[in-house]
């Protein structure tokens, strides 16, 4: 309507002035309700053509969208394992939480039993190490005893052999053979005691430390599992829809406990979806304006900080059926990210609020370029100037939105 009014000032109004003062025709006489089309046909046709052209230029070079929302991230409150709720630390269904603050605790009797079992294994291993040290000392004593007996047998054998050498009849050959066998047996006793000591030392230095390390690892695993029974907030934020109660079963795949909204989520940034026909116009650095439902009668200056290179409607993932193009019934939009042009400009806008966004094309650099011709510069000036029309429309929308919602919308 605003474009039509502006165009009528350049077409219908001059046509009427010519008819009235140039041809002398008067309203109610020659120009009546039935003769308006015939008398002002040139102005009306020109007005309609100019209006269509103006709307096309405005909407293409200065795109607008109502698909703009201050999206924010939510984190489901989930445990890493299934379990029954034993204790709740959050009062009510919502509340502010700090990073690392406990939210609720699952029944931990199984994990506590596993941790206690691992501690008992460590204590048992420590006791076994003490026993191994005692066994080493006992083996050392047996070695000393066996060596003493061996040395005694060797001395007795050497004595008998010396007597036999001097006087063969003084000592029986059988006694010498018996002493030789005794020496060999005492040597075996020494070897056995030495082997027992080596076995005890191997247990003390290798086997038992390995068993203790395994028990300590089991204890660490049990303590990790025990710590997972207490679910904590991963970030600063606010817990919402926290309807969990003691005795409930929580499943990480099917039953979240609530929703955690990070602090500052959805504040200071706006996401807007523009039509695909405007994909070549939306560029990083474009100045934009927005008005949001949660902050009426306010125009927020913004700037485009990013443009998504992909249109979400075209995404696919592999499955058992081939994709049919006609299944995409709604054309996707070009997603642009906008931030306030001035610090604090987005204050007061509730995260998730719906907004209306206008973006404005600027050809200033091209206009001042030396290679730009006069005619092209004039056209580019005109294209930039008609952005004023869109700015006026946005302000009218911001002015009428509360009235449409509260009065005409029946809310």
> Which tens digits make up the pLDDT trace of 162-177?
776 777 766 667 766 7
Chain centroid offset of residue 50 CA: 50
> Which pLDDT score is estimated for 305?
92
The structural domain count of the chain equals 4
Mean predicted lDDT score pLDDT of the chain: 82
Strands (E), 203-327: 230-232, 237-240, 249-250, 258-262, 270-274, 287-292, 295-307
319 within some domain: no
pLDDT interval class at 192 (50, 70, 90): confident
Those residues whose C-beta lies under 8 Å from the C-beta of residue 103, and which sit 6 or more positions away, are 77, 88, 89, 90, 97, 231, 232, 233, 239, 242, 257, 258
Q: What is the pLDDT of residues 292-329, one digit of tens each?
A: 988 888 999 999 999 988 888 888 877 777 877 777 76
- Show the tokens assigned to 348: 């007061």
Q: What is the pLDDT of residues 237-289, one digit of tens each?
A: 888 888 888 888 888 777 788 888 888 887 888 999 998 888 888 889 889 99
**CATH classification of the domain holding 246:** 2.40.50
Q: What is the pLDDT of residues 95-132, one digit of tens each?
A: 888 998 898 888 888 888 888 888 898 888 888 888 88
| Full-model pTM | 0.68
Range 19-43 average pLDDT: 75
Residues 275 and 217 reside in one and the same domain? no
Q: Is the pLDDT of residue 52 over 90?
A: no
- Show the tokens assigned to 189: 């006793």
- Looking at the DSSP bridge assignments, the partners of residue 95 are 239
Q: Is the pLDDT of residue 63 over 80?
A: yes
Those residues whose C-beta lies under 8 Å from the C-beta of residue 95, and which sit 6 or more positions away, are 238, 239, 242
Residues 238 and 222 reside in one and the same domain? no
Residues 12 and 122 reside in one and the same domain? no
56 within some domain: no
Residues 168 and 194 reside in one and the same domain? yes
Residues 237 and 303 reside in one and the same domain? no
Secondary structure element (H or E) that encloses residue 62, with its range: none
291 within some domain: yes
152 within some domain: yes
């Amino acid at each position: 309507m605003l474009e039509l009014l502006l165009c009528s000032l350049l077409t219908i109004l001059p046509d009427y002035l010519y008819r009235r003062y140039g041809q002398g025709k008067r309203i109610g006489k020659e120009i009546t309700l039935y003769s308006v089309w015939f008398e002002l046909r040139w102005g009306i046709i020109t007005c309609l053509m100019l209006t269509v052209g103006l709307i096309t230029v405005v909407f293409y070079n200065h795109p607008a969208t109502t698909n703009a929302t201050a999206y924010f991230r939510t984190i489901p409150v989930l445990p890493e394992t299934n379990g029954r709720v034993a204790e709740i630390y959050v009062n009510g269904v919502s509340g502010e939480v700090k990073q690392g603050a406990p939210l609720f605790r699952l029944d931990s009797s199984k994990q506590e039993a596993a941790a206690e079992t691992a501690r008992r294994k460590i204590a048992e291993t420590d006791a076994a190490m003490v026993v191994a040290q005692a066994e080493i000392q006992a083996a050392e004593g047996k070695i000393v005893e066996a060596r003493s007996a061996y040395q005694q047998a060797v001395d007795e054998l050497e004595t008998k052999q010396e007597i036999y050498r001097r006087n063969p009849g003084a000592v029986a050959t059988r006694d010498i053979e018996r002493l030789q066998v005794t020496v060999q047996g005492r040597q075996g006793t020494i070897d056995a005691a030495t082997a027992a000591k080596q076995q005890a030392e191997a247990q003390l230095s290798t086997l038992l430390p390995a068993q203790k390390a395994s028990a300590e690892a089991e204890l660490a695993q049990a303590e990790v599992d025990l710590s997972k029974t207490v679910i904590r907030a991963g970030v600063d934020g606010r817990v919402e829809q926290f309807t969990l109660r003691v005795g409930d079963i929580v499943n990480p795949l099917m039953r979240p406990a609530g929703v955690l909204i990070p602090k500052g989520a959805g504040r200071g940034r706006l996401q807007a979806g523009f039509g695909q026909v405007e994909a070549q116009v939306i560029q990083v650095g474009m100045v934009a304006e927005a008005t949001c439902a949660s902050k009426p009668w306010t125009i927020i200056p913004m700037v485009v900080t990013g443009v998504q290179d992909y249109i979400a409607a075209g995404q696919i993932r592999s499955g058992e059926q081939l994709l049919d193009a006609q299944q995409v019934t709604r054309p996707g939009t070009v997603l642009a990210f906008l931030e306030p042009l001035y610090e604090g400009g987005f204050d007061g806008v509730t995260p998730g609020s719906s907004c209306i966004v206008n973006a404005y094309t600027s050809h200033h650099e091209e206009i001042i370029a030396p290679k730009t011709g006069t005619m092209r510069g004039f056209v580019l000036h005109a294209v930039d100037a008609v952005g004023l029309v869109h700015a006026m429309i946005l302000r009218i929308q911001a002015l009428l939105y509360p009235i449409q919602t509260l009065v005409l919308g029946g809310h």
